[in-house]
């Protein structure tokens, strides 16, 4: 079929060159990403990878992303559009800094740098770097502020400002950050890493256009968008037509949402049109706290939940995203907030629940479609910690977000959940902290980290298990901020699958006492005390009694599952092998447990 993009015929574009150029764009983004990782100073960016890079056309269409956080990059057009609306003199050498939730950014901690890319005086692209900064100058040392009802409590906002001109920093704007943000040398180093990434992408794009010419690159962009659209349409045509609704619920937050926050997604699949509509308008109004989504997060999560249910080979660009239509409303907790409504937790919490609602709606089609709910975000496993590092001759202030354990992933048809999934809107891109790096960088001792036995969401395919552990400060009191979700309403299973275990945070006293802290906690952990955590486990998919017995015994042998739970939940009996250590399936006893008249099938 002959198709066109932007009024130009793209049917004849060389498919080999299409593959070559798409890979070249991906390699440019990969180099940008590596620049941020190597040059950043804070662990949440450098080690945990809470950062993303992308390339858009100058008219704000996503061209490509590579190993990026889904929540960061699935609505990037909302970030660059305000630049051309606010500035009529964009020129080469400019760079724009934006962390305003009302100018297309995910939330205030995600400082986003955008650089226009010109070739021979013609604006062609934007290079973009988005990083989650450990501090942004809020009254409290955290960027997650669930009780902050307005942006006036959130810290510094750069509402789409020109931070560089003629390739040089604007000193007056940099001074704002240096004066207002804690540990400002870390902040400035992280910002400079983003500058390096965007300028690197700018140089590589100019080299690419110089090699192939403007017209060829423009033709590629249109053909690439068209290819993404065609692939998305083909994937949607394989789905059953209909409207599917799924509802989730965020945990209660005292004074903000005392009964929790119900979130509903209505997904309409039209295979004939190759179109999926995600309607989230039937949801509560904004709440008086930082749990509200920004428009960028709401749009991105609607797209994310759909992408998870399409062929993984569909390119994530403007072409494919045009086949997913989010329907939002103003003043909605998962819609478009109005200034100055607080949104500091917009990338986690309610946002994670929205993505789950969308992805799980497809399970209403029945097997093999859809997926279970993923583990909630976040216990003290992802706590924001701060204090004074007194290990050196000169004490220094520190603040960082730990990534000690990532939430368990949801099961889907044919696959168990991913252990290091973290959340639907992160999807395994973030990295669990290295214990050794954390202990070398910060005055923290990690006492324990291990898989929690029997914590997974049981199913024919299991949700990933929870991780539990503890850590403490080595140099006096430590301040801890936690915005846990999943302690009250854990991740549910679908189609007979069971819920995963809930998350939690505990204070371990010096005398051996144990106190469970509220899931939304801010306060001091005293010298001699430690913080215990449990991440949330993922939900299961399908009846546990249909799980392959060999997979059950595999979980036993890696200490994820007890023998008792194998018998009770899965109807699988085991016996020790001759080595006296490992287990194997007792097929006769298992057949009796499951009440089967036919021999069990083996993988």
User: What is the average pLDDT value for the chain, to the nearest integer?
Assistant: 95
Of 213, 228, 243, which one is at a domain's C-terminal end?
228
| Beta carbons of 93 and 82 less than 8 angstroms apart | no
Over residues 41-91, the pLDDT tens digits come to 998 998 889 999 999 999 999 998 888 999 999 999 999 999 999 999 999
Residue 443 maps to a domain: yes
Query: Residue 245 — very low, low, confident or very high, per pLDDT cuts 50/70/90?
Result: very high
Tell me how far apart the alpha carbons of residues 553 and 566 are, in angstroms, rounded to a whole number.
Answer: 8
Give yes or no: residues 482 and 575 share one domain.
no
Residue 199: which region, alpha, beta or left (left: phi > 0; alpha: psi -120 to 50)?
A: alpha
Over residues 147-162, the pLDDT tens digits come to 999 999 999 999 999 9
Residue 582 maps to a domain: yes
Q: Collapse the DSSP code of 542 into the 3-class scheme (helix H, G, I; strand E, B; otherwise coil) and give the result.
A: coil
Model confidence, pTM: 0.94
Give yes or no: residues 42 and 84 share one domain.
yes
Over residues 167-187, the pLDDT tens digits come to 999 999 999 999 999 999 999
Residue 261 maps to a domain: no
Tell me how far apart the alpha carbons of residues 359 and 301 are, in angstroms, rounded to a whole number.
Answer: 9
Q: Is 182 exposed, middle or buried (0-12, 13-18, 19+ CB in 10 A)?
A: middle
Give yes or no: residues 492 and 576 share one domain.
no
Over residues 321-333, the pLDDT tens digits come to 999 999 999 999 9
Q: Is the pLDDT of residue 6 over 70?
A: no
Give yes or no: residues 22 and 112 share one domain.
yes
Tell me how far apart the alpha carbons of residues 475 and 246 are, in angstroms, rounded to a whole number.
Answer: 47
Q: Is the pLDDT of residue 4 over 60?
A: no
Mapped to the 3 state alphabet, what secondary structure does 292-323 carry?
CCCHHHHHHHHHHHHHCCCCCCCCCCHHHHCC
Q: What are the beta bridge partners of residue 341?
A: 150
With a CB cutoff of 8 Å and minimum separation 6, the contacts of 470 are 446, 447, 448, 508, 530, 531, 532, 533
Give yes or no: residues 507 and 559 share one domain.
no
Residue 360 maps to a domain: no
Q: Is the pLDDT of residue 596 over 70?
A: no
End-to-end CA distance of the chain: 43
Give yes or no: residues 152 and 139 share one domain.
yes
Tell me how far apart the alpha carbons of residues 3 and 13 are, in angstroms, rounded to a whole number.
Answer: 11
Mapped to the 3 state alphabet, what secondary structure does 171-202 carry?
HHHHHHHHHHCCCHHHHHHHHHHHHHHHHHHH
Q: Is the pLDDT of residue 1 over 70?
A: no
Residue tagged 């009302």 (tokens) = 102
Query: Residue 427 — very low, low, confident or very high, per pLDDT cuts 50/70/90?
Result: confident
Tell me how far apart the alpha carbons of residues 82 and 492 are, in angstroms, rounded to a whole number.
Answer: 39
Over residues 503-558, the pLDDT tens digits come to 999 999 988 999 999 999 999 999 999 999 999 999 999 999 999 999 999 999 99
Give yes or no: residues 14 and 159 share one domain.
yes
Give yes or no: residues 384 and 517 share one domain.
yes
Q: How far is CA 391 from CA 40, 383, 397, 510, in A?
A: 23, 22, 11, 21
Q: Collapse the DSSP code of 37 into the 3-class scheme (helix H, G, I; strand E, B; otherwise coil) and give the result.
A: helix
Query: Residue 428 — very low, low, confident or very high, per pLDDT cuts 50/70/90?
Result: confident
Tell me how far apart the alpha carbons of residues 145 and 149 are, in angstroms, rounded to a whole number.
Answer: 9
Residue 132 maps to a domain: yes
Of 198, 228, 258, which one is at a domain's C-terminal end?
228
Residue 273 maps to a domain: no
User: Which residues span the domain enclosing 150?
Assistant: 4-228
Q: How, if at all, do strands 275-279 and 324-327 pair? A: parallel
Q: Quick one: average pLDDT of 320-345?
A: 98
Give yes or no: residues 393 and 437 share one domain.
yes
| Beta carbons of 476 and 445 less than 8 angstroms apart | no
Q: How far is CA 76 from CA 59, 70, 116, 469, 485, in A?
A: 12, 10, 14, 36, 26
Q: How, if at all, do strands 62-65 and 51-57 pair? A: antiparallel
Residue 546: per-residue pLDDT? 97
Of 526, 543, 560, which one is at a domain's C-terminal end?
543
Give yes or no: residues 376 and 492 share one domain.
yes
With a CB cutoff of 8 Å and minimum separation 6, the contacts of 83 are 90, 96, 98, 114, 116, 160
Number of domain units in the chain: 3
Give yes or no: residues 71 and 116 share one domain.
yes
| Share of residues in the chain with pLDDT > 70 (%) | 97
Residue 312 maps to a domain: no
Residue 595: per-residue pLDDT? 85
Over residues 429-448, the pLDDT tens digits come to 889 999 999 999 999 999 99
Residue 174 maps to a domain: yes
Residue 594: per-residue pLDDT? 92
Residue 3: per-residue pLDDT? 44
Q: Collapse the DSSP code of 139 into the 3-class scheme (helix H, G, I; strand E, B; otherwise coil) and give the result.
A: coil
Give yes or no: residues 513 and 579 share one domain.
no
Mapped to the 3 state alphabet, what secondary structure does 256-278 carry?
CECCCEEEEEEEEEECCCCEEEE
Of 436, 438, 427, the C-alpha closest to 401 is 438
Dihedral sign for Cα atoms in the order 543, 363, 262, 406? positive
Please state which of the ranges 98-112, 198-212, 215-229, 374-388 shows the lowest mean pLDDT. 374-388
């Amino acid at each position: 079929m002959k198709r066109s993009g932007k009024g130009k015929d793209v049917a004849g574009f060389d498919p080999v060159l299409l593959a070559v150029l798409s890979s070249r764009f991906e390699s440019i983004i990969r180099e940008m990403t590596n620049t941020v990782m190597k040059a950043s100073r804070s662990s949440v960016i450098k080690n945990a990878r809470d950062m993303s890079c992308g390339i858009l056309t100058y008219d704000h269409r996503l061209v490509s992303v590579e190993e990026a956080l889904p929540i960061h990059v699935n609505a990037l057009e909302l970030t660059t559009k305000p630049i051309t609306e606010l500035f009529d003199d964009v020129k080469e050498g400019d760079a724009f800094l934006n962390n305003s939730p009302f100018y297309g950014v995910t939330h205030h901690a995600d400082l986003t740098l955008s650089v226009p890319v010109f070739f021979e005086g013609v604006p062609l692209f934007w290079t973009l770097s988005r990083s989650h900064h450990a501090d942004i100058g809020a009254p409290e040392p955290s960027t997650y502020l669930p009780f902050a009802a307005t942006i006036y409590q959130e810290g510094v906002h750069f509402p789409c400002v020109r931070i560089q001109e003629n390739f040089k920093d604007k000193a007056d704007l940099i001074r704002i950050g240096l004066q207002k943000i804690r540990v400002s040398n870390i902040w400035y180093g992280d910002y400079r890493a983003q500058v390096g990434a965007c300028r690197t992408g700018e140089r590589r794009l100019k080299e690419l256009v110089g090699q192939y010419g403007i017209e060829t690159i423009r033709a590629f962009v249109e053909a690439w968008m068209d290819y993404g659209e065609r692939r998305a349409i083909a994937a949607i045509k394989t789905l059953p037509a209909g409207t599917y609704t799924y509802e989730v619920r965020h945990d209660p937050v005292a004074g903000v949402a005392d009964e929790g926050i119900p979130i509903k997604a209505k997904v309409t699949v039209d295979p004939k049109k190759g179109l999926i509509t995600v309607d989230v308008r039937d949801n509560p109004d904004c709440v008086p706290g930082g749990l509200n989504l920004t428009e960028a997060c709401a749009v991105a999560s609607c797209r994310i939940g759909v992408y998870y249910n399409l062929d993984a080979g569909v390119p994530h660009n403007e072409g494919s995203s045009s086949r997913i239509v989010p329907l939002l409303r103003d003043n909605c907790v998962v819609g478009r907030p109005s200034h100055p409504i607080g949104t500091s937790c917009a990338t986690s919490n309610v946002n994670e629940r929205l993505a789950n609602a969308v992805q799980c709606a497809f399970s209403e089609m029945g097997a093999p479609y859809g997926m279970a709910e993923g583990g909630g975000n976040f216990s003290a496993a992802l706590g924001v910690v701060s204090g004074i590092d007194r290990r050196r001759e000169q004490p220094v202030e520190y603040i960082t977000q730990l990534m000690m354990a990532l939430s368990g992933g949801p099961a889907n048809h044919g696959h168990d959940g991913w252990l290091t999934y973290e959340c639907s809107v992160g999807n395994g891109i973030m990295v669990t902290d290295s214990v050794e790096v954390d202990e070398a960088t910060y005055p923290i001792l990690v006492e324990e980290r291990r898989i929690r036995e029997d914590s997974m969401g049981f199913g024919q395919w299991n949700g990933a298990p929870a991780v539990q552990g503890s850590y403490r400060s080595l140099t006096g009191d430590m301040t801890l901020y936690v915005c846990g979700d999943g302690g009250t309403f854990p991740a549910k299973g679908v189609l007979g699958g069971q819920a995963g275990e809930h998350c939690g945070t505990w204070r371990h006293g010096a005398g051996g006492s144990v106190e469970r802290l509220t899931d939304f906690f801010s306060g001091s952990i005293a010298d001699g005390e430690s913080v215990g955590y449990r991440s949330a486990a993922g939900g299961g998919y399908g009846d546990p009694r249909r799980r392959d017995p060999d997979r059950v015994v595999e979980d036993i042998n890696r200490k994820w599952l007890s023998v008792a739970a194998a018998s009770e939940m899965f109807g699988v009996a085991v016996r020790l092998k001759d080595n006296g250590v490992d287990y194997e399936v007792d097929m006769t006893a298992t057949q009796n447990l499951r009440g089967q008249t036919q021999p069990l099938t083996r993988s």
